[in-house]
Structure 1
């Protein structure tokens, strides 16, 4: 009899991947528990890893205790799972703890302790600069000297599949005599990668670029929903606030950084050379060859290439902590919108429609400048895996519901 764990070598969720999530199987009263996706099934980690050195950290409903154990434990559990998945007896042992994906509910797999969003795509920053400062420099003077970011709201990070309610707030168009209050009329997407942090650090310390990988547990597709009209009115002089804090969606399965070793690529040339604390040794600064696909109601509207990003995730983490800011296991930081040089590689509607001047046409014949109620946005991605395999990052999806 064929086992669900007998997967073809090129399966995007095979043993070379093994993303982590949180599940509650249908009809099971035991509640939410951690899982690992293998093919089209979820492996119950609470049961499968009982008696292992990591069992205590895997008993709860979130990854946070396991994140705190650090890179040696992360590698140990991953190796233990991979060894059993390539061994017939090991597969039989794990097979008793499998649940089909269509019979489990997924949950946010970690408690988001803090959340920072960066602005690391030169193409995105340039496009936004050209839209909002057509007569000035596209990039601000500091952009190539440091990874720019802002603190977001961790409590409104939601798991993929959660509906997003259209936000309400103040907005003021350039021709409006005074601000008005109401639902956002320029609701947008931002195609990003989110990075999950493990290993707490004390206040007053900092993480060097060369040590950043010891705190980078994994990545997940991320959609930082943005109300551009609310954002435009509020962001001067302190930056994004209510235009961003209403919801950010993250995929239900976290891809371990180790699964993306084969996807590492050189960064674009950084000129001027960053200050010493952002340089790192060879190999510690890198990009990721992840290609995303953004669809609205089933129509693919963009394929943003993450490999184009200017700043490495290790540089982002080093900059985040250089002032002595502490890390906590379960912290999350995101890359900012991923955009490439061609129009069909832009990662936001602001850029794809050039602030509404160039509407998109969907497959059903309707057009969009920004999102309408009922629209479903789905972001998927792939990356090269070891020995010619493919890593398929879990999708992040959400549907817009009317303002309340």
Structure 2
């Protein structure tokens, strides 16, 4: 007989399709009409008020839970993360403390969970990189020579990272015209289905960290939509890569799913084309068996599994420090667009519509790229036996450009 999953005294947490069972316990920041932003943990349809737990002596996190971000708690380090997770599991288990202070999720406003110190976006799906490369360079030159040897990335804007539910303004920018550049509203606005890793420890200038050390530095993960202005990007990205085309907004989910919650779902990634240099080699799989996908105006579109990725977050973090670049608590690393091998498994409209050549139908309407008023949503979960580890919503609605 299969072992039954651990249950909570909070009934909604025991439903098989609940994103936030007792096995998950993701961290976030919330407020209510009566309270300022503070740290919380999602369980079922409720939020554990961690600041109030500390005030009552149920938890000890050095006062960090009363802050409007998770950074101070994360900075306490992995032993504190494990201790608080273990204590919360005790409090919320079926035989736990039913006086644990809770707030109904329906009565709370969710905020950006971390103070994002830096944002780096990578390009780590071989399927995505190949598909996009074919569109612009043909199949023979789709992947750059270095792509299978190291994680390719660029430094983005931390200032435009926003929490789920925040509207995104269509950007203005330069695009290529027949007689030179044209200043216009973006006409090829796109999404990117990604997973974001949150760095949970500092490193020093001039210091390199190994993949194993990098693994220990990751606090957890969020869903991440790195909105992209494809027409602006096509004009600006050579020779230094994307700039304004990727600075319009990056949406993340409000709940940070910890590395500990995803541990049972570890998985190998995509098959290697060639051996990696020793500094990027992993001793154990750095990916997760996790369904990810996206919706447009409520209709499910592309979906795949995170384990199609070629470079893990730990490999990306280790490579990031290869030059001695220091990392900080609250740094955010985007995985890059997650795409499977089939057209319905792609994580961006650029791929799904073959650069706008093949429109898709959304609720009876034709789309090549995102129109004003469209809502894009991401979803992700790892499915266990009788429970799932989910991320909750990650949505954004596009507003017209300010011309």
The alignment's TM-score, normalised by the length of structure 2, stands at 0.94
What is the aligned counterpart of 2:44 among 17, 39, 43? 39
Post-superposition offset of 1:43: 1.0
> CA offsets per residue over residues 313-371 of structure 1, 9 Å max, x none?
111110011111111110000100000001100000000000100000112x1110000
Confirm or deny: 8 A CA contact 1:5 1:85 kept in the other structure.
no
Structure 2 residues not aligned, in runs of 5+: 1-7
Change (3 A) 1:388 1:360: same
What is the aligned counterpart of 2:202 among 190, 200, 203? 200
Provide the aligned C-alpha RMSD in A: 1.5
Post-superposition offset of 1:255: 0.5
Alpha-carbon distance between aligned partners in 2 of 1:293 and 1:8, rounded to the nearest angstrom: 24
Alpha-carbon distance between aligned partners in 1 of 2:256 and 2:196, rounded to the nearest angstrom: 9
Alpha-carbon distance between aligned partners in 2 of 1:388 and 1:151, rounded to the nearest angstrom: 40
**Counterpart for residue 318 of structure 1:** 318
Change (3 A) 1:305 1:180: same
Instruction: List aligned pairs for 1:3-402, cutoff 5 A.
Output: 4=10, 7-8=13-14, 10=16, 11-25=18-32, 27-28=33-34, 30-50=35-55, 51=57, 52-88=59-95, 90-94=96-100, 97-134=101-138, 136-173=140-177, 176-281=178-283, 283=284, 285-363=285-363, 365-385=364-384, 387-402=385-400
SS in structure 1 opposite 2:145? coil
> CA offsets per residue over residues 221-267 of structure 1, 9 Å max, x none?
10000000000000000001000011000001110111111221112
> CA offsets per residue over residues 20-39 of structure 1, 9 Å max, x none?
111011x20x3111110000
Post-superposition offset of 1:395: 1.7
Change (3 A) 1:6 1:248: closer
SS in structure 2 opposite 1:179? strand
Post-superposition offset of 1:87: 5.0
Post-superposition offset of 1:6: 6.7
Alpha-carbon distance between aligned partners in 2 of 1:308 and 1:6, rounded to the nearest angstrom: 32
The alignment's TM-score, normalised by the length of structure 1, stands at 0.94
Structure 1 residues not aligned, in runs of 5+: none
Post-superposition offset of 1:5: 5.3
Change (3 A) 1:80 1:152: same
Confirm or deny: 8 A CA contact 1:292 1:381 kept in the other structure.
yes
**Counterpart for residue 3 of structure 2:** none
Confirm or deny: 8 A CA contact 1:220 1:394 kept in the other structure.
no
> CA offsets per residue over residues 175-204 of structure 1, 9 Å max, x none?
x22110011000000000001111111111
SS in structure 2 opposite 1:270? coil
Please say which of residues 264-273 and 242-251 is displaced more in the overlay: 264-273
Give aligned pairs, total: 392
